A = this chain, B = another copy of it.
Amino acid sequence: MALIVQKFGGTSVKDADRIRNVADIVTKKYQEGNDVVVVVSAQGDTTDDFIAKAAELNPHPSAREMDVLLSAGEQISMSLLAMTIENMGFPAVSLTGWQAGIKTDLNYSSARIRKIDPERVRSLLDRRKIVIVAGFQGISPHNSITTLGRGGSDTTAVALAAALHADLCQIYTDVDGVYTADPRVVKNAVKLDEITYDEMLELATLGAQVLHNRSVEMAKRYNVDLEVISSLTRNPGTKVKEAVSVEKMIINGVACDKHVTRIAVMGIKDEPGMAFKLFGLLAKENISVDIIIQSIGRGDQKDISFTVAEDLGEKTVELLKANQKTLGFQDISMQSGLAKLSIVGAGMASNAGVAAKLFDALASCMINVRMISTSEIKISVIINGDEADRAVKAVHAKFFD
């Protein structure tokens, strides 16, 4: 008998059939004698519908009211799931974020969970109820409704699992685990049975959209055993944990993020603190910078290139242009339509020749590498977006075939 937290995303509860499928998974685990907490997202297109409704009335609604609106989405899906479970003859109780004790900070639309008061959930579990909790939402110190931003329901699930000292947190998705590459691109991609938090983190950050990195970070911090698993196939998924038991492969996966923009700032004065000034400015506007390359100074000038997410490209350029005087650069350029291909694996650090193998694979299919970035367990390269799929296939073949 274990305590299991199961999270189901919007696609998994999008219509009556899928909700019945979820109820089936949940009650099976419950019937085996486990205590089960279920975290649900809003149904399929609900969030998009809400956003469209809001946009019609206010092009720039306040984040506070947007959170009130969006959080109604999980309230709908959680009650529908509870009713479905009741209809199968099992006891279910649904709780909103505040009812489940999910306390966040004040940041509407991208709040962070500060703490969870799990008493109510626990007392319901003690009475053998299946507890269904609204994902993605919480309550601010001023008792206003907040939402957690992208990947929020994963975070809710992991945070609840941590607060309840759950034995396992299962993240149900439409894929049946973590693969060595996107199986839609690479036909013979292999599903991993296990992966470490750090490797999963790199993959999450690198555009393998299986788990949001905030939830993986939290799982690592509180040592929550995760499982990424399909709500459709009933096959075992991929376990994410601190250390994995299988003999390590050198690399665990090939990930690709196709929405990368490179910005080059040219002719910056080569003075101490200029890079700090530039990136400090971006940080203040919440612009997250990924790969940074700084050219060797020519005379008293240098160039700095960096990548940002595609949808932040223009905002970044405008911001820098507005501060051209302070930063004292000569020119700025932006290139969109790039992709970042990464290979990830804990075995990489201790294994010479991985980088060589990667560049060999890219070179053999004539793919030009524009930027390179490396860490202990990952190598990333920036390439043209339209060559991304071909590159992923070639790299995967090189390492896994």
Binding site for B on A (CB under 8 A): 16, 19-20, 50, 53-54, 56-62, 64-66, 68-69, 71-73, 75-76, 78-80, 82-84, 86-87, 92-94, 96, 99, 120, 143-145
Contact = CB atoms under 8 A, between A and B. Distances in A.
Contacts of A50: 76
A26 to B, nearest CB: 14
Nearest to A93: B64
9 contacts: A50-B76, A61-B86, A62-B86, A64-B93, A65-B83, A66-B83, A68-B78, A72-B72, A99-B144
Contact of A80 (B53, B59, B78): B53
A56 to B, nearest CB: 5
A72 B82 contact: no
B54 A68 contact: no
B94 A79 contact: no
Contact of A76 (B72, B86, B92, B93): B72
A143 B95 CA distance: 10
A365 B75 CA distance: 55
B83 A79 contact: no
A64 B20 CA distance: 19
A75 B68 contact: yes
Contacts of A53: 16, 76, 80
Nearest to A99: B143
Contact of A94 (B59, B68, B76, B78): B68
Contacts of A83: 54, 57-58, 61-62, 65-66, 69
A79 B65 contact: yes
Contacts of A93: 64
B57 A84 contact: yes
Contacts of A73: 72
A305 B54 CA distance: 54
Contact of A69 (B16, B66, B76, B144): B76
A143 to B, nearest CB: 6
A75 B71 contact: yes
Contacts of A71: 75
Contacts of A76: 50, 53, 69, 72
B54 A80 contact: yes
A99 B82 CA distance: 24
A53 B58 CA distance: 29
B65 A86 contact: yes
A75 B72 contact: yes
